[in-house]
Amino acid sequence: MIRFWQKRFAEGIKTENLEIDNELEEIKKELKESISKNFAGSLAIRYVDSGSCNACGAECGALSNPYYDLERLGIYFVASPRHADVLLVSGVNTVNMSHHLIEAYEQVPFPKWVITLGDCPFEKNFAIKKDIDKILPVTHHIKGCPPEPKEIIKGFLQFLKKI
């Protein structure tokens, strides 16, 4: 047991995974180039939670931590849909949020793009109005419940390739 701890103290604890880190760096590099080309270096996103469990919101919050650091790549979450290039919507379309979601979409300047985030397992009930793609023209969908930050970044890259 003492040899185990001596080795640990000598080497240190390694928490990095170089294979995953290298893949993520390649994705980030491609994403930054695409944003520079299509949006003059800055992509503004308005995030709207239309009735999720908040897991997608937590994963989006992780995108601004130092490990992912989307602002360094030119992606910014903005407070007003009037300043947004893209509307990022998570969750199901609930009755209480439906008109707010439509208002937010109407306030986004042209050209308008909508990305949906997550595959919510909620069943249809009295509180759920319609699927988001039935009321808004969805450009891209990022799968997962919740999608990991890396998958969200890949989804942004796929969206940029589509437009």
Alpha-carbon distances, residue 24 vs 41, 59, 66, 135, 146 (angstroms):
19, 16, 13, 34, 18
Residue 73 is predicted with a pLDDT of 87
Residue 128 is predicted with a pLDDT of 81
Q: Inter-axis angle of helices 149-162 and 55-62, to 10 degrees?
A: 80
Alpha-carbon distances, residue 9 vs 1, 16, 18, 127, 136 (angstroms):
13, 17, 21, 55, 56
**Residues paired with residue 76 on neighbouring β-strands, in sequence order:** 44
Residue 144 is predicted with a pLDDT of 87
Long-range CB contacts (within 8 A, 24+) of 109-112: 109/82, 109/84, 112/87, 112/137
Name the residue ranges covered by the structural domains of the chain.
Answer: 41-162
Is CATH 3.60.40.10 the classification given to domain 41-162? no
Show pLDDT as tens, one digit a residue, over the chain (163 residues).
677 777 777 776 666 666 667 888 888 899 899 888 888 888 999 999 888 888 888 898 888 888 888 888 889 999 999 999 999 998 888 888 888 999 999 999 999 999 999 888 777 777 787 788 888 999 999 998 888 888 999 999 999 988 8
pTM: 0.83
